[in-house]
Amino acid sequence: MPVKSLAARKNDLSNPVKQLEILNNGIFKSGELPYFKDKVASTPTSELKPKKLEILQLNLGYMCNQTCSHCHVDAGPDRKEIMTVETMEQCLEVIRKTGAHTLDLTGGAPEMNPNFRWFVEEASKAGIQDFIVRSNLTIIRANKKYFDLPEFFKKHNVHVISSLPFYKREKTDRQRGKGVFDKSIEALKMLNSVGYGREGSNLKLDLVYNPSGAFLPTNQEALEKDFKKALKEDFDIDFNQLFAITNLPISRFLEYLIASENYEDYMYALVEAFNPSAVENVMCTNTLSVSWDGWLYDCDFNQMLGLKVASKVTHIKDYNEEVLQNRDIIISQHCYGCTAGAGSSCQGSVT
Amino acid sequence: MSKTYYDPADLRKFGNITEWNEELGKKFFDYYNQVFEAGALSAREKSLIALAVSHVVQCPYCIDAYTKDGLQRGIEKEEMMEAVHVGAAIKGGATLVHGVQMMNKYDKLSM
C-alpha cells in the first residue's frame, strides 16, 4: 500500500482533470460501455435533480493519520489542506439556518483539524437532529490528546460513523495499514465503554464496510450479520448499523484499479450492476458537500474531482439553499459507483 | 484471432450466447440464476460449491467468477482453499476408486 498521497508523490492522478479524462474516454468513448448520463436517461428518473436538502457534509481537511490504499480523498499525514476558523464560521452561519436535518463532518481525519472541538461545540448548539462525525477509529488511539474523544463525542451527542473494512485483521491491515485493525478494535472498545453502540443507549455507532479490492460489496444486511457476530464473539464489541459502501473509481482507488489491471473489469461490473431504483435515491439528490476551503459540491466524490456545483452560488459564504436547490447535478462515469447493486452512499445502501 | 484459447475479457460476453439462440440461452440463464438463489442452501454455500466445481471442471472463467463472488460475500481464503481441496479429493478419489476395477480385471485375467 502507498505510504504517501498521490499529491505528495506528484502522481498524475492527483490532478482531477487527468482522472476525468480516464473516466470519460477509453471504454466509454469507444461506446463499449454507455455514459452515465445516457444510462440515467433510460430510467424513469431520466435526470438527476436535487430533492429537499437533508444532509450537509463538511470536509474539515484532507490531513489524516492513515494513508489507506483505497482513499478517494487522497488523504494522508502529508496533506496540509485544513478548514480555517473563518470558513468554519461561514459554515456555522449556514448550519444555524439550514433545513437539513443531518450534519456530517468528514475529512481526512476531521479530529486532526486544530479547531475541531470548538467547531463541534458551536455546531451542536444549532440543534441539528443528527450530528455525524466520521472517525477512522485509529485517530482515537493515535496520540494521548485524542484518548478522550469518545467522552467528547458523548458529551455532544455525536453520532459516530467509523470505517472498519473487515472483521478480520488481515484484510483490514492490507487496505489501511499495518496495526490498523488492532488499534480500531481498541478504539471501538473505548466507544463501547462510554455507551456507544450498546443496547439501550442512544449513542449511535455505525460502521462502514468497503471492499478491500476490485469487487463490489455484497448485501448490506448479510454483511451486518457477519460483522455483528464476529465482533461480538471475538471482542465483545457492539455497534448499530453497518453501511456497505462501494469504492468509487477515483483518486487512489483508481490508481489501484489501473495498476492492478482491474479498471475495465471494475467499470464493467459497476455498469452491469446499474440499478434504476438506486438512481432515485442517490445521495447527491439530498446532500451538499462543502470542501475545506468552503466550495460547494454535489457530493464528496465530485469535490475530489474538482467538480463544483452548477449554480450561481458556489461558495459557503454566498450560501442560498433555494438557489442551490435549482441546480443540475454534475455527473460522470464515477457515478456508476453509487447506482450499482443496492446503491451506495455515505449512509450505505439506498434501496 | 487471439493467440490463446481463453481471454479473460470473454467472461463478460458470456450473455452474448443468447444472441445466436435466444430461447435456449434465456432458458439457461433463467435456470442458472435460480440455481444460485438462496434456498435450502444459502447463497454463500452455493458460491463455495460453485468454486469447488469450477476447479474440478477446470473452467478458468468460472474460477475467476467464483473467486470474485466469494470475495464479495466475505468468504475467506481459507474457506476457498478448503473448498478446492474438497473438489480435488473427489477428483483424486474418482481416479483411485477405479483402481478397484483394475484389481478386479487383473484378478479375473490371472490364473
| Domains delineated in chain B | 9-38 (no CATH), 41-111 (1.20.1290.10)
Minimum-distance CB partner of B73 among A166, A218, A265: A218
Q: Which residues contact A159 (CB under 8 A, 6 or more apart)?
A: A130, A131, A132, A133, A204, A206
Residue that the C-alpha cell 443507549 belongs to: A201
Interval A70-109: pLDDT, tens: 999 999 999 999 999 999 999 999 999 998 999 999 999 9
For position B87, what pLDDT does the model report?
Answer: 98
Split at pLDDT 50, 70, 90, the class of A176 is confident
DSSP of A181-205: HHHHHHHHHHHHHTTTT-TT-S--E
Residue (of A314, A286, A345, A283) closest to A99 by Cα position: A286
What are A310-325's pLDDT values in tens digits?
A: 999 999 999 999 999 9
pLDDT in tens, A142-160: 999 999 999 999 999 999 9
Q: What is the CB-side half-sphere exposure of residue B55 using CA atoms within 13 A?
A: 19
CA distance A211 to A247: 7
pLDDT in tens, B7-30: 988 998 999 999 999 999 999 999
Please give the residue of chain A at the shortest CA–CA distance from B12: A268
Nearest CA in chain B to A221: B73
Q: Which residues of chain B have pLDDT under 50?
A: none
Are the C-beta atoms of residues A165 and A129 closer than 8 Å to each other?
no
CA distance A95 to A124: 10
Residues of B in contact with A217 (CB under 8 A): 72
DSSP A262-312: -HHHHHHHHHHTB-HHHHTT-GGGTEEEE-TTSBEESSHHHHHTT-B-BSS
Percent of chain A at pLDDT > 90 equals 89
Nearest-by-Cβ selection for B72 from A166, A218, A268: A218
pLDDT at A1: 52
Beta carbons of A222 and B72 less than 8 Å apart: no
What number is the ipTM of this complex? 0.80
User: What is the spatial order of strands in the sheet that A130-135 belongs to?
Assistant: A242-244, A205-209, A159-163, A130-135, A102-106, A55-59, A287-290, A296-297
The class that CATH gives domain A12-339 is alpha beta
B12, A213: Cβ pair inside 8 Å?
A: no
User: Kind of pairing, strands A296-297 and A287-290?
Assistant: antiparallel
| pLDDT computed for residue B1 by the predictor | 58
pLDDT higher than 70, residue A2: no
Q: Residue ranges of the domains in chain A?
A: 12-339
Which residue is closest to A220 within chain B, CA to CA?
B73
Cβ proximity of A218 and B73 under 8 Å: yes
pTM score: 0.90
Cell representation of residue A79: 496533506
